[in-house]
Structure 1
Amino acid sequence: MASGKYDEKSLPHHGLHLHKNTQLLYGAEKAVGKGVEFMKNVRHKMDITFDQRAPSIVIEIPQYYNGYDDILKRGGKIRCITVITKENLQYCEKLVKTVTELRHLDGLKGGIAINETEYMATTVLQEAQPLTEVIYSNVDEVVAQGQFIFDTLWKNATPAQKKIKELKEGIKSYETRLITESSDYLIETEFERVVRNSSEIDVCTSIDGLRINKNHLIESITNALTNERINTHKRIRILVEITRDNLEIVKELLDLGIQIRHIKDISSIDYTVTNSDLIIAVKRTEKNAPSDSILYSNDPSYLDHFANVFEELWKSGKDPERVIKSLEEETELSFIETIDDPEESVKLVRTLISSAKYEILAILPNFNSFLRQVESGMMEFMKYVSLSKKNVNIRILIVEETDNEIQHQILTIFDKFNGKIPSSSNSDEIPLEFKFKGIENFKLKILNSKLFSEIGFLIVDKNKSLIIESKNIPSIDMIESIGLSSYSNSRRISKSYASIFEALWNQAELYDKLKLQDRLQKEFINIAAHELRNPVQSLLGYSDILINTTGNIENYSKFIVTINQSTKRLARLIDKVLNVTQLENELLILNKEYFSLEKLVEEIVREYNNNIHLLNKNQLEIRYEPRPIDCNHTNSENRRNFGHVFADRTRIIQVIANILENAVEFTDRGTITLRLNENRSTHEILLTISDSGRGIDPEILPNLFTKFVSKSRKGTGLGLYISKKIIETHEGKIWAENCYDGNNKIEGSKFTLTLPSTDN
């Protein structure tokens, strides 16, 4: 017979170099010899497991019996686990006296043995016959793994004396025990034993529980139904919520002749109950992981309780064929349930919120309803959900005609959640949308409306909805304020309610935008009036002087310059207003041509530097940094093919000038740098304009390219809006950002625009 070696290496042991290896030994002579050698190597302890056939081997085969005896005489200890049955009872009674401690565990197959440095295992055991096939290893990792397996089985095994007494006296003892650190093997063993020994099996499981345990369940049931020695008329029933996720598993079980009924929102506890056994999956970690622990009991009080619960659920279960047909045809098996108990409604609210996978939408009919959510802890609970489920977006809408006082109260509540009390603020700046600090997926918005409603909505994932009647009472107790509730899992109904929510949410956002637009427009009118008044006054004043002046007009050249500058300011303002009108009505006509953007930028920079002294910016430098030379091309080729665009030259000058004007205004000293680059993968030319000035006010940064948005002392807030429209008309993009130093302090801004490149 042959032996094989794997993972061979050499490590020191008792002053010698022993090979670390794994062997597969065939034949009784080699197997028994290795077993005897294994027992001689035991120094302090040997742990061993074997099935119901092995006790006779230990007692009847001298090599093994003497080996056990020799270990004990040397002061060693032997822990042994086996399957104690009526057939091997006489051997087990002797084995109790032969080893240090013996325990019983159902379902063991083959055997393993571990000493301090070695591991042995066999899958072939014959009563009162020597071993004929053995796996041997002294690899440290294999030994450690074998020890872990033994310790797990040992914790869940029963003392031998108790099992022997039961068998001898015919006493049925009841026990309830927690099988911890359970493995797939142990779960499979328990399932197989329960199925084999029971004629009626009831399984109540969640969707995930069915997915996780289905392999054990199907294999055990298949073996039971196909084994001629097993009763083929077993009644097996399974309660589960049938969904698209477990549809194929359910159909597979139905094909085996198993009875299944559909029940919604089933308990998260997975259990199997028979006339003699109860197995409960106590805890589960990851989605596809097996149960961490199993609670086993054969106590009649537990069995009766879970059997009665199962029967009640089974009566209310639905026919699986109808559910499967609905799922396959993508139609809804819908229901509407009326709930008249306010406490049940509140529990259902929490359950629905906890079950959300991607979205929670809620409408509160008035401000008092919001206060009740806060008082009851529901807002805190939703905050917890939003933190623990980052992919779930939560939006709450309060529908009420609000005033500044109500808005201040909501702001105060949110700031308390965020850990600070708000300071007094201008009423015009009070937001109508609120967020928790650091939580982007939870928003609350006020719909400032006269719409009267006493109905609250909760829509989860657009497939479950709960409508709650809100009593119009001053009490902030949630239970007292709730009337009837209507719960439905209809996707169509839930989508309809979600559409209503979206319409109201959009209305609230539109109100916010109109309010912001109104404020910005008022600011624009003030700025525009100022912009018009100053140059007009200059024009009128100086023109009056010139009209009434006699003599040499050269003495009044400064008046003429002022008139010229004021006229240009008016012309620019008129141009901007005309540009906005053209852009918004899509009347802008582009006169495109091929030109070098790089040469254009160089010309603009040169012109600005020539006139920078007129702006009283003597400590400011504007410069263009040429693109680094591409080593893969010659210098002339690189420069010739770079930066060419097909665009309206005048409009591009207008955009660059707008950005430069802003940069110059907000940068008193330092550098404004223009850089050109290209993105060959997207065929785009990128122009960046960076400055070392005060940066962009964070308050206006999100709306920087919107009409009338400006922090300038003299700007109209139209320049960047026009620039964005021009670039987008050229199929390009434009954006802005602040630059920060190492201390997260703003040290300038950077504008970037892109244009499609061309090889011409």
Structure 2
Amino acid sequence: MNDENDGETKIIFGRDEINDLFVKSVGETADNWNITSPGEFVPLFYYMTDLRKAYKKALERGIKLRAIIKVTKDNIFYVKDGSQYFSEVRHMDGIVGTFVVSDKHYLGTSTVLYDEGKVNAEEGIHKTQYPTQQCIFSTSRELIHQQQKYFDILWDQAIPAVEKIKEMENLENTQLNVMDNPLKVQIMLTNLLRSTPKEVWLLFSSCTIFENTQRLFNILTILQSFQEKIGVRILILTNNTEPLKPSERTQINVTAKEGDAPLGKSSIEIRKIENAGLTNFEVQTNTMIAICDRDKSLTIKFNQDKDYTSVETFSQLIESGVYTAGKEPVMPSILSFERLWYQTKLIQNVEESVNLQKEFVNLAAHELRNPIQPILGLSELVHDKITDEGQKKMLNIIIKNARKLMHLTDDILDLTRIEEKILVLNKEKIDLYPYLLNLTKECQTLLHDKNNHMELEFKHNNKLILDLKNVVKDELVEGYDKKYFEVSADQFRLSRILYNLIDNANKFTDSGIIKVLVEIWEDKVKFSVFNSGKAIDEEILPKLFNKFATKSFQGTGLGLYLCKNIVEAHGGRIWAENNKDPGGVTFAFTIPLDR
């Protein structure tokens, strides 16, 4: 079929004729030559010497040669070899038939046929194999344009052949070996570490596992004996019950001992991170993971029932092991290790920043406390000596704010002790009656500005024994039975708790009553602070004793958190509830009696 306006289209028969046509098409191409072919055609191309020479000359002329083929495990060798004759080769599944489109020609054939005999580089093409012996050849511009668009669509959907080859080779190289023989697992670990790696990562699920691995297997000595310097990262998960501090890090340079031949030097960095709070990463307990050169790993599970201190050989610790080889299957372990390793650095930076802040706050609190004491002491001394009410009023303002500042610095210092878990109570015998009478009198200065009234009440086994309706005017009653009022506690910190609760009640009460009720039982004493002011927001009530839990613009949000920790340090508990009638809030806490 011949159309002067649209070029020539014809069918060519014969294997040699078709081969010559392919060579001619490549030779006449001026710009680009593209082929799409199923995987079966690739081995045949290996033996088409004339066509390979034509491709080579076309590349030398600057022709762009592109191929879309199906890469299979049977043709990987031929794809690798043939890629040198193309500008780029891509892979796509589901290709049927072969077609070529260039700037001058279109050629289309059906699928290459052959029998069940295999095609490989060593044996050549089986005698009974043959390519299809008919081909459509066309110089029609319309057909060439149409097929070029179709090829471009396929090209965009295909992936680089090198990626497909890499994926298939990784799968072929993947090994999974599950071992339940402890001695075999130990030998595998030894061989893995002695396989001259450039990089070794070790993850231990606990300090105990690391220490016993070092004691029985001497892993650091093995790592230091390499001829060339390698990078070693050791990550140890810890918890608060273990002797090593969480997130402690040590940089160790280990040099081989004299007598080892040859001498080597390895940089071994050990980091420890607390496993509590780790997210999106799970490590089984009693486990060690070794990763070498990012493509081999060995996971060892240790026997949980063994007494590690009595074990004399490393293999006695081992229960089982799983060896994996191949970049793809090892990748999840690599990513998890890298994430944890990076997290230790972040934690270290945060801890350093927090420690600097704590040191500054602690120093500032101490420096503030020193000048406050003489200000407060001298103000109280002057207050007791002057008679002018106006001057007394001004001094009351100084005394009230000095006390607030004193309490704030004490709160900051105690917060630091609580966070560092070094809070120590100085318990002593306290006579609650005079102690609380004096305390409530001191707190009266807080209540004065808001016109609130303070009451103090004592009960013993639910029986009222003292009821002080006006703590400002009431004086200590002589001859009371002290045995009812004795409690063992840290006097300074008990004052802090009550002061905070009374101050808190005063903030949310106007022209109302604040009552302190002390209930003494056989085994504990309960302190309650009632107010008739505003109720607590139901949203904040469950987290009231958390640090910085407040919806108010008054205060720091530390007072109740400190109260909770001090009460619990005494062995008691603290809680709060809204009053039904006449309204307001009740804060209560208990302290065990130590008679």
TM-score using structure 1 length: 0.25
TM-score using structure 2 length: 0.31
